[in-house]
């Protein structure tokens, strides 16, 4: 594995590979890697010929009151993990490399960034789209991999790539979970032992909603009420940003009668960790 810090070196390597007919797979991350990230790396390794992973904690996708400073980092461990997975290139740029000179340009996706996490993190998706556009320009991948835990992010970035005619396929892969069901997240590092247990109620709540849908409930209000009740029964689950049922393509809120496919999604605080999780409810 080669660790590169200069964007132009990465572009050169990507172009050399493409000139030889190789396809480039790319996994952008903020580091502090877990099995969720590694599942994306393995998909890239299997499905493409050159596997590029980036580690960069992007400041512009954090709001002023969010956890940019606290966000967990461990480059040494991450690097070893990626080496073991057979990654070809680790791109670990500096802030200066990613935001050179003027920082006047922003990429924005409208409408589908307004609900869910976008409603509570007003600068988040503009920061995500801008940094991912930059990373895409540096890496020029054929396929880019994202996790379905950040479902809205994947939809937004797929829309960005299509709208801007980037010759890049955005693939979203299933959420990887701990044995007890907790969705893997770098932010799980914020949880103490009690909070770790309480965090399980997110999946439990989602499953309650899924069961109701399977039993034929068509009223989204009733489904979401039942989901909220499960969360509220756990005292360590703090304020809930949202509990929503949306169309997985348009991210529009579903109305009665609920139709499938649907996405049932939660964002809630457990201690200082803002956790998100979702279940995709497929057509029949």
Residues that bind a second copy (CB under 8 A): 7-8, 11, 15, 18-19, 98, 100-112, 129-130, 133-134, 137-138, 140, 159-160, 162-167
Query: CB of 139: closest distance to a second copy in angstroms?
Result: 10
Query: CB of 123: closest distance to a second copy in angstroms?
Result: 13
- For residue 12, what is the enclosing H or E element? helix 7-19
**Beta strands at 262-270 and 273-281: parallel, antiparallel or unpaired:** antiparallel
Asked if the peptide bond before residue 261 counts as cis, ω within 30 degrees of 0, the response is yes
Enter the tokens of residue 104: 């006047």
Phi then psi for residue 243, to 5 deg, are: -130, 115
The nearer residue to a second copy, 100 or 261, going by C-beta atoms, is 100
The nearer residue to a second copy, 157 or 206, going by C-beta atoms, is 157
Cα–Cα distance measured from residue 95 to residue 226, given in angstroms and rounded to the nearest whole number: 44
The residue from 37, 74, 124, 137 that is catalytic is 37
The nearer residue to a second copy, 15 or 84, going by C-beta atoms, is 15
The nearer residue to a second copy, 11 or 240, going by C-beta atoms, is 11
The nearer residue to a second copy, 56 or 190, going by C-beta atoms, is 56
Beta-bridge mates of residue 54? 28, 91
Query: CB of 114: closest distance to a second copy in angstroms?
Result: 10
Please work out, in degrees rounded to the nearest 5, the angle formed at the alpha carbon of residue 61 by the alpha carbons of 60 and 62.
90
Contacts of 176 (CB under 8 A, 6+ apart): 34, 35, 36, 39, 147, 183, 184
- Alpha-carbon 116 to chain mean position: 13
Are 157 and 129 in contact by the 8 Å Cβ rule? The answer is yes
Query: CB of 137: closest distance to a second copy in angstroms?
Result: 5
- For residue 173, what is the enclosing H or E element? strand 169-173
Enter the tokens of residue 61: 């996708």
The nearer residue to a second copy, 46 or 110, going by C-beta atoms, is 110
Query: CB of 168: closest distance to a second copy in angstroms?
Result: 9
Query: CB of 241: closest distance to a second copy in angstroms?
Result: 23
Contacts of 129 (CB under 8 A, 6+ apart): 106, 107, 108, 109, 156, 157, 160
Cα–Cα distance measured from residue 43 to residue 148, given in angstroms and rounded to the nearest whole number: 14
Question: Is 137 marked active-site?
Answer: no
Residues serving a catalytic function are 37
């Amino acid at each position: 594995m080669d660790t590169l810090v200069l964007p132009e070196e990465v572009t050169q390597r990507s172009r050399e590979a493409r000139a030889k007919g190789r396809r480039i797979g790319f996994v952008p991350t903020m580091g502090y890697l877990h099995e969720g990230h590694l599942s994306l790396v393995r998909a890239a390794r299997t499905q493409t010929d050159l596997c590029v992973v980036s580690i960069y904690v992007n400041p512009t996708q954090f709001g002023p009151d969010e956890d940019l400073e606290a966000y967990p980092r461990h480059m040494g461990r991450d690097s070893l993990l990626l080496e073991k997975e057979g990654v070809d290139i680790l791109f670990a740029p500096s802030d200066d490399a990613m935001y050179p000179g003027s920082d006047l340009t922003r990429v924005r996706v409208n409408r589908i960034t307004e609900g869910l996490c976008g409603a509570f993190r007003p600068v988040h998706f503009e920061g995500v789209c801008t940094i991912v556009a930059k990373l895409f320009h540096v890496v020029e991948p054929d396929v880019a991999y994202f996790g379905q835990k950040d479902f809205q992010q994947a939809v937004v970035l797929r829309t960005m790539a299509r709208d801007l005619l980037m010759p890049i396929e955005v693939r979203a892969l299933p959420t990887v979970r701990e044995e007890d069901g907790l969705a893997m997240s770098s932010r799980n590092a914020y949880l103490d032992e009690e909070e770790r247990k309480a965090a399980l109620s997110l999946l439990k709540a989602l499953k309650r909603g899924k069961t109701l849908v399977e039993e034929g409930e068509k009223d989204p209000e009733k489904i979401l009420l039942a989901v909220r009740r499960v969360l509220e029964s756990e005292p360590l689950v703090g304020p809930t940003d949202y509990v929503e049922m949306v169309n997985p393509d348009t991210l529009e809120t579903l109305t009665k009668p609920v139709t499938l496919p649907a996405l049932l999604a939660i964002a809630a605080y457990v201690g200082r960790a803002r956790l998100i999780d979702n279940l995709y409810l497929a057509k029949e």
